[in-house]
Structure 1
Amino acid sequence: MPSPTHIIRFIAEEDHHCHLGQLVDTARDVGTDSFEGHPIKAFLINGTIFDGEVDTDKVMTVKQLLSPIAPEQCNYIRCLGLNYVDHAKESKMELPKAPIVFTKPRTALGHPFPAVIPIPKVAQDGTSDYEAELCLVIKKTGKDIPEEQALDYVLGYTCSNDVSARTAQMMTSQWCFSKGLDGSCPIGPVLVKSEAIGDPAEGLNVKAIYNGQTVQDGNTRDMIFNIRKQISYLSQGTTLEVGSIILTGTPDGIGYFRNPRIALKHGDEIRIWIEKIGTLVNMVRYEP
């Protein structure tokens, strides 16, 4: 059986159960297909996201897309702040000398459309914000990983939105609470294996599209600390476990620094598009 290259986790039309699948048509943007109601077909994957093989004799239809990795498989969500040159400049902050690291709990993990981004009452003050980010999943456990070996630890890449409550963020130097609210880390719609992406340092376009308007338009080649450096740094004296997720930073154009400012409001649509991966689509819902 062949190894998968474009992995989705989904509820199937045929049996209403959760499955792993390999996209039949890898050229399609399944995020927009799901949003627009176009049929999505997937070969079943036998095994886990880490060791699965494609059964080309079994094809199922997607009823609902889920985050590519299940919460119980995600050991830790690590995130980088101020990791793009232009974003650091728009923040009026000096370029960091080392990666700025914060974390999100597993309860922050969210799904693609039709799942929503929930904004709890604590963040319903007009400062909830988007951040388009390349997300990676670690495929094997490692510690003190050399830069030259770092990409060997990457299972694949997907889109993510580092949803942030800016009022809470600006009140303290620690960002984990303001960026760790439930559902504040939607990822997806497809995990593209590292072999099909290559080294992101060579350049992947990254966009955030808010209610149809492109508000972020960056490229991974502009990262201050590239993927190799991130993995090597985060694994210094610290075990990076299989299933760990890393959010790699956002380019400039976040809502808080735009003029006029943009904030996520009830009923808004926010899309994260990354070259070679596709589009993560979510609607925003204020919790009662």
Structure 2
Amino acid sequence: MTKFATLRIDGATRAVRLDGDAHVDLGCTDLGAYLAGSPADEKAGTTYPVEGADFAPVVTYPSKIICVGHNYKNHIQEMGRELPPYPTLFPKFAETLIGAYDDILKPEETDRLDWEVELAVVIGKQVRRASETEAAAAIAGFTVMNDVSVRDWQFRTIEWTQGKIWEGTTPVGPYVVTPDEVGGVRPALNVSTTVDGVVMQSDDTGTLLFDPVFLVEYISTIIALKPGDIIATGTPAGVGHARDPQVYLVEGETVVTAIDGLGFCRNRVVK
């Protein structure tokens, strides 16, 4: 299985490939630089142990992170909305991203912090106005994202961004797995969220309303997608905000967002 990651090592970050019980240095500072074709440096080929690895976000500073809302039918229904004819898009920024096992920093301004497991697409080559074939070829792989949402700020207005871009709240990783290892560019993978061991979300990416290839086509029509860019494809039913009564993350809880074949993010909520 081909898996890539970005590790924190000696105060810096390094792009690596998983090779058995070791991570092999790819000669670049992060996976985004590797995908963009940056020349390998003198650390290429250095190995690091898998045990105790400190995972950074898979791409530390993507040029853009585009998220998709309302993309699982059951989640759309639980939020009381109609199926959209086009993808609902909003941005995130690099400062929101944290590693797969880092703590989630709960903003002091909210008590409505919510979980959202998402299949995330990592772009491997630049595309603009991509055809279906070009869009498929531009997908370097998939990873796990928890699109943590600050619900009270999200719904202050009809535009969601302010509830989606809080610094240090969005785990992504641990690995980027190539499409050939998970059934292709339109994978059908089980996704789940647990909070302190209690299952909150469980679904299958095969039920996405807009699949990864279509999203690359659609978004690249608007703006060029570059190596290392991330597309978060949306979350299934089971978010805390839609429950009755509503449930939100609190300090001290551990939230695990997992996708079969890709791994999981395990994060403790801290002040």
Q: Same fold (TM over 0.5)?
A: yes
* Cα-to-partner distance string for 1:53-73 (whole Å, 9 max, x where unaligned): 8x99642124412111122xx
Amino acid at match of 1:18: T
Which residue is equivalent to 2:64? 76
* Cα-to-partner distance string for 1:193-218 (whole Å, 9 max, x where unaligned): 23323335341111111111111001
Trace 1:184-199 onto structure 2 (pairs within 5 A).
Answer: 184-199=169-184
Which residue is equivalent to 1:19? 14
Which residue is equivalent to 1:116? 103
Which of residues 40, 57, 66 in structure 1 aligns to 2:56? 66
* Contact 1:82–1:100 (CA under 8 A) maintained in structure 2: yes
- 1:146 is aligned to 2:134: no
- 1:87 is aligned to 2:75: yes
Deviation at 1:108, TM superposition (A): 0.8
Which residue is equivalent to 1:28? none
Which residue is equivalent to 1:7? 4
Trace 1:227-238 onto structure 2 (pairs within 5 A).
Answer: 227-238=212-223
* Cα-to-partner distance string for 1:89-132 (whole Å, 9 max, x where unaligned): 1111000010000111221111121x211111222x2x110000
| Seq. identity, % | 28
* Cα-to-partner distance string for 1:141-188 (whole Å, 9 max, x where unaligned): 111111233111111111001110111112211111101110232101
Amino acid at match of 1:10: L
Summarize the Cα distance change of 1:224–1:41 in structure 2 as closer, same or farther, 3 Å threshold: same
Amino acid at match of 1:279: F
* Contact 2:185–2:213 (CA under 8 A) maintained in structure 1: no
Instruction: Kindly tell me the number of residue pairs found equivalent between the two proteins.
Output: 261
Which residue is equivalent to 1:98? 86
Give the gaps of 5 or more residues in structure 1: 26-39
Deviation at 1:139, TM superposition (A): 1.3
Give the gaps of 5 or more residues in structure 2: none
CA distance in 1, matches of 2:215, 2:224: 14
Trace 1:1-288 onto structure 2 (pairs within 5 A).
Answer: 5-12=2-9, 17-25=12-20, 41-47=22-28, 48-50=33-35, 51=37, 58-61=46-49, 62-71=52-61, 74-113=62-101, 115-123=102-110, 125=111, 127-286=112-271
Amino acid at match of 2:18: L
CA distance in 1, matches of 2:107, 2:247: 18
Deviation at 1:138, TM superposition (A): 1.0
